[in-house]
């Protein structure tokens, strides 16, 4: 999992997205953003 906490900024600053792409080594055209807040996650 990649978190905005690693960058210290919340979306939509492009820095977060560039960081994530650099971490996974993929170009933007190869990935999709899936976002969920804690309230959207299923309970375990």
Q: Structure pTM? A: 0.56
- Per the CB < 8 A criterion, the answer to whether 27 and 21 are in contact is yes
CA dist., res. 21 & res. 19, Å (int): 5
DSSP-derived secondary structure letter, 28 = G
Q: pLDDT tens, 11-23? A: 667 888 899 999 9
Q: Scanning the structure block, which residue is given the tokens 């807040």?
A: 37
Residue 42 pLDDT: 58
Q: pLDDT tens, 1-44? A: 777 778 776 666 788 889 999 999 999 999 988 876 666 555 65
- Cα angle, residue 31 at apex, residues 13 and 36 outer, rounded to 5°: 65
């Amino acid at each position: 999992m990649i978190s905005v906490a690693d960058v210290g900024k919340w979306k939509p600053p492009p820095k977060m997205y560039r960081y994530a792409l650099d971490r996974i080594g993929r170009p933007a055209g190869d990935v999709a953003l899936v976002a969920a807040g804690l309230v959207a996650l299923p309970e375990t």
